Amino acid sequence: MACHCYFIFTVIAMLFATTSFSDAQNCNGVLVSYAYTGGVRLPPNVTDAAKQPYRFQSTVTVLNNGLDELKSWQVYVGFQHDELLVSASNVVLADGTTLPAAVGNGTVFAGYPMTDLKTAVETAGDLTQMEAQIQLVGTVFGVAPPSIPLPSSIKLANDGFQCVKTTGQGKNGTNVCCTKDPNFKTNITTDDKYLLRQNGDLTIMYDVIKTDDSNYWAEVTMENHNPLGRLDNWELSWDWMNDEFIYTMKGAYPSVVDVSDCVFGKKGTFYQSLDFSTVLNCQKRPTIIDLPPTKFNDTVLGKVPFCCRNGTILPSSMDPSKSVSKFQMQVFKTPPNINRSMLSPPQNWQINGTLNPTYKCGPPIRVSPTANPDPSGLPSEIVVMASWQVVCNITKAKGTASKCCVSFSAYYNESVIPCKTCACGCPSNTARNCSTTAPALWLPSDALLVPFDNRSAKAIAWADLKHLPLSKPMPCSDNCGVSINWHLNTDYTNGWSARVTLFNWGDTNFADWFAAVEMDKAAAGFEKMYSFNATTLALDGVNNTIFMQGLEGLNYLVAEADGANPLNDPRVPGKQQSVISFKKKPTPGILVARGDGFPNKVFFNGEECSLPSVIPSSGSRKVPSWATLMLLSLLLIVLKQQ
């Protein structure tokens, strides 16, 4: 009885600031609560009340009152007042963003370093193992005290839970009870020690392959699972959370070799006898890059499978052996983590590439240790010490500019509909005399072969010839490094064709490039490409995408180069071109010229390209009416009788 009373009073003491005792006792699942604890006006003083900044402090509490351990807990907080989060204790942002971060559209927190919350049953009611508290500090705009900037909602973000409607806890807080969804199906049993590996566009495994008291070796494996996903010149970064540093690496290298944080910090104080001139990187957030192929057989830097490809990770449909990239590193730890069993992965992972999709990476999740084939060839496996999985998915924030664009043209219209104005972003030089909102000017076909800055005279002359409107000032360029022209080439009774031309306006060569077009009504009739390799591809169970790449030996899209006479001739883009043909029998009723012959989406190296808002008009063609055709037929009959 005394122990039971002690537990009740402990609950009251720890939860009083964020939720009521009755709520804590009545929730037989996971109780999530949010409490606003204070705020103050911040400088500067602005005239627009909606833009006045205020400091806010809040506490989020997650309490596991259920019967099962809550593994890798995550909580969603629906911030709604343009909040800028400056600090958050005991968590990281689940999308890998580092603080300070704008969270005005809501955000998901992932527990760290305590990723799992145990139950009252298995801990005899020990709240230090059952509960996590997040202390939030940030800036909110336009919500002046005594008004309280509460979130729109809070909930447990783990799969398989359903949360009842949030309830108010006075004017300063809110809470919600989340219980297991009985209809949710999972392969995980309550006895499983680790969570199952998850699916994603790109997965990263962090495997500890060797450990000692002061340091360990980790193997990092990146694997592409998206048929249109790709990375070129990848750059991988993360945050060390416990003052770790990289001593040496194989298969990759830091973009900056910097040991200043070691020499002038506590790392250097602890490792006084260590020669830091041989250390690779001591930054809290290092950036790692791949090595060139020439280093693959280097006995010091290479000799790691799937390493040393200049940072290229391809879709497995192109080459399964190039869909993986791997490196190893020796990581040194600092007190109080000087113990061979104290292993903690870095957090806030991020990976980027050149003209590639944008990836958002979740937090590392502890999974079962990876088992690798025995390198000696024996029929056995070698299990690593510990494994964590990071799942990254392709995402595109609303309003984000593309990195490539598409122009449309057709055999029945002399004008080319070019890429959109500012398709890949507006110019940073605001003094430039161009309009960022005016629609792009239609062009003659030969204008596609010259850079934008050399098109003005052609565009103006074409507008005058075709009586097209001209804006003042002229529209800005598309600012894209890669553009693709889709030209509707022919349209006949049994089939039709298009011509695809890729232009590289940048200074980067693209080896092993690929493109893809999504065609809802035409893909089923795909016949072949003549200068590219191409095949249909099923995405999400829908077979409406055509995947194309250069022929062997011709899969290199070169960068823009000087013209024959650099002083007088415009620069020349890298170019690849092929005709693509379709049959009409598999797509009855297809209206090629009315839109069905143009793609719904276009991708280059995994990046979705900006499309024109309109297709070429066939209004200039004089199509005879049915009545006219009948009159012509009658006239021919009369003439034959004479």
Q: Of 123, 149, 180, which residue constitutes the final position of a domain?
A: 180
- pLDDT of 636 reads 47
Helix, strand and coil content of the chain, in percent to the nearest 5, comes to 15, 35, 50
Angle at 539 between CA 533 and CA 544, to 5 degrees: 65
* 595 secondary structure, DSSP code: I
**What is the distance between the alpha carbons of residues 560 and 407, in angstroms, rounded to a whole number?**
18
- pLDDT per residue as tens digits for the range 299-325: 999 999 999 999 999 999 899 999 999
Judge if 213 and 297 occupy the same domain.
yes
Give the residue numbers spanning the domain of 224: 202-394
Give strand pairing partners of 245: 332
Judge if 498 and 573 occupy the same domain.
yes
Rg of the Cα atoms in the chain: 31
Pull the structure tokens for residue 296. Answer: 């693959």
- pLDDT of 3 reads 46
Nearest to 360 by CA among 396, 333, 386, 392: 392
Judge if 174 and 210 occupy the same domain.
no
In a domain, 631, yes or no: no
- pLDDT per residue as tens digits for the range 265-290: 999 999 999 999 999 999 999 999 99
Give strand pairing partners of 160: none
In a domain, 2, yes or no: no
Residues in the chain predicted with pLDDT less than 50, given as ranges, are: 1-17, 189-190, 620-633, 635-640
Q: What's the distance, CA 100 to chain centroid?
A: 20
Judge if 566 and 438 occupy the same domain.
yes
- pLDDT of 19 reads 54
The domain total for the chain is 3
**What is the distance between the alpha carbons of residues 387 and 373, in angstroms, rounded to a whole number?**
16
- pLDDT of 26 reads 84
Say if residue 540 is exposed, middle or buried (CB neighbours under 10 Å; 0-12, 13-18, 19+).
exposed
- pLDDT of 605 reads 94
Judge if 368 and 419 occupy the same domain.
no
3-state class (DSSP) for residue 381: strand
Judge if 168 and 233 occupy the same domain.
no
In a domain, 5, yes or no: no
Residue indicated by tokens 């075709």:
466
CATH of the domain at 517: 2.60.40.290
Judge if 226 and 372 occupy the same domain.
yes
In a domain, 589, yes or no: yes
- pLDDT per residue as tens digits for the range 583-624: 999 999 999 999 999 999 999 999 999 999 999 987 544 444
In a domain, 157, yes or no: yes
Say if residue 240 is exposed, middle or buried (CB neighbours under 10 Å; 0-12, 13-18, 19+).
buried
Judge if 115 and 59 occupy the same domain.
yes
Judge if 350 and 229 occupy the same domain.
yes
In a domain, 1, yes or no: no
Q: Distance of CA 571 to CAs 383, 444, 455, 574, Å?
A: 55, 18, 12, 10
- pLDDT of 378 reads 86
**What are phi and psi for residue 509, nearest 5 degrees?**
-75, 145
Judge if 390 and 410 occupy the same domain.
no
- pLDDT of 9 reads 40
Judge if 57 and 147 occupy the same domain.
yes
Angle at 424 between CA 419 and CA 426, to 5 degrees: 105
In a domain, 642, yes or no: no
In a domain, 412, yes or no: yes
Judge if 420 and 540 occupy the same domain.
yes
Pull the structure tokens for residue 42. Answer: 């911040």
